[in-house]
Structure formats: structure tokens, C-alpha cells
Structure 1
């Protein structure tokens, strides 16, 4: 008679895990620094530096996005000030923000969002639902999402 030294054991469940479908809503930032169109550029620069961010959405009173302001947009005002020999930065957000906004819906799959980043070369996309800003997804958010997924269960 041969005895097993494994002792008692139970068979693992044969359940097959469902593929993970991860959306932008699962990983987007929702506590955003937003700007107003009549805000001075020097305030924007202070907030960007203080919060260690490279840009953010510009919203109206109804939380509808009307533009995006970035570090590059602030640099334009700095160069203009140097050219005009004025050390102050009197420009307003509305004068420098990008208004050709490409947004993304919250139900967008993470892989589709990653493709959009590669094709369009943006650093961030505002996430819009029913014409309201509800969040923002960045390239870093996409990397964080993919890193947390189980490799064998990716669903495109």
C-alpha cells in the first residue's frame, strides 16, 4: 500500500474568469484643478506649479468645458511679455487656451483610450458625460490601469 504525503487536498474550482473590461471611468481623475476663462495667466502658472500638473480644463459656470490651458500656453504669454519688455503676465486664460477640445466618454475602453493617446499625441483627455466635465484621463492613468489588470484576462 502506497501512502501519499500530500495529505488531503481539494481540487481548485474550474471556474473560468471572465475577461476584464476596464473603462476610462474606472481610472480617470475626478478631483480636478479647473480654470476660468477670465483667470489671469500668472494665477494659472502658480496653480500648475503648486499642484505639479501640466495643464487642465477651462470650464464655464455650468461645468461645461470650453478649453484646455497648458504649460505651453503659459509659455506663450511669458515670451510675449519678454518681447514687449513687460515682466507682468497680464494675459487671460481665454487668450491662450486651446478651444479645439477632443473629449472622451467615460465608458471608453482603456485600450481604445491608449490608441487615442498614440494617434493624437495628447497628454490628457477630458471625460465628458451629458455635456458636463466629470473627470480627466491621462497617459499615466492608462499605464496604471493596465498594470493592475491580470495579463491573461485582457478584453479589448
Structure 2
């Protein structure tokens, strides 16, 4: 598996006034997830229904296997047209991206922002002891930044 985890620097105890902005405090936890055996068409329906652009693929133990996105679905639509492949027997397992970058829930949100910029991803799964515990998106980072506005940026 190509799952790489970026460990955050553990937040040192700080002065009371400064609130460490940790990824785990801003990540989404009620995630729409997918299974390897699911059909790509069903994924498309869920993406549209929940207005999301992708989601994590997990097994029955909630361990992260990969990510499937709108882009993966688009590729499937395109391929099935050109190679005359039936859409209805294509599974998430065949289409998901297994090279997944995860980040540590204890990472500072501002460090996470830097990762988004460097890697140009829209979301990062957060894994704790192999299990998917949440996901942070660019929007979550923006929310954290707005909350920081009145505070000190230099943590």
C-alpha cells in the first residue's frame, strides 16, 4: 500500500492564551465512505447526493484502502465509451487511487495548509493506528483560519 502519513509535530504545552489549532479539532468525522466491491455508478450517485468530490475507501475494519474521486469516475465514463467497457461491472477497487497521503490529527492546521499547497490535494484522510478517523478539506482549513483571525497567527 502506498499510504504515507505525515506526522505532525506534537503540540508543545503552550501559554493559556494560545490555542493550538489542531487538525483533529477541525476535521470532518461523519464521512461518506466507500467499499472496494461497490460499483462506480453507485459512487457517482453518492457523490452527487452528498455534494462531495470524493471519499475514502475502507474495509470492514475501517482501515483506509484508498480514495475514489469524481476524477476517477470521469475516467471510467470516458474509458467505457472508448473501449466499450460496460459500466455496471466496474468496482471501486479497480478505480480507486491507492497512493494516499494522510496527515496526523495532531498536526497544526497551518502546517496542514502548507501541505495542501505543496501537494495540490483537495482533502487528506486522518488515520489513527491504521483506522480512518476523519478527513480534512481545504474548506476546513479556511474555517480554522477565520476562527484564528482575532488571535495570534504565530504559533
Question: Shorter-chain TM-score: which interval?
Answer: 0.7 to 0.9
Report the alpha carbon displacement of residue 134 of structure 1 after superposing the two structures with TM.
0.4
Q: Which runs of 4+ in 1 moved over 4 A?
A: none
Distance 1:132 1:155, change over 3 A: farther
Provide the secondary structure at the position in 2 that maps to 1:66.
Answer: strand
Q: 2:56 aligns to what SS in structure 1?
A: strand
1:87 Cα deviation after fit: 6.4
Distance 1:17 1:67 in 2: 39
Structure 1 unaligned residues grouped into runs of 5+: 1-15
For the residue of structure 2 that corresponds to 1:153, the secondary structure is coil
Partner residue in 2 for 1:10: none
Q: Is 2:134 the partner of 1:127?
A: no
1:64 maps onto 2:79 in alignment: no
1:52 counterpart = 2:47: no
Q: Which TM-score applies when normalising by structure 1?
A: 0.85
Larger Rg: 1
Partner residue, 2:76: 77
Structure 2 unmatched runs, 5+? 1-14
Count how many residue pairs are aligned between Structure 1 and Structure 2: 141
TM-score scaled by length of structure 2? 0.85
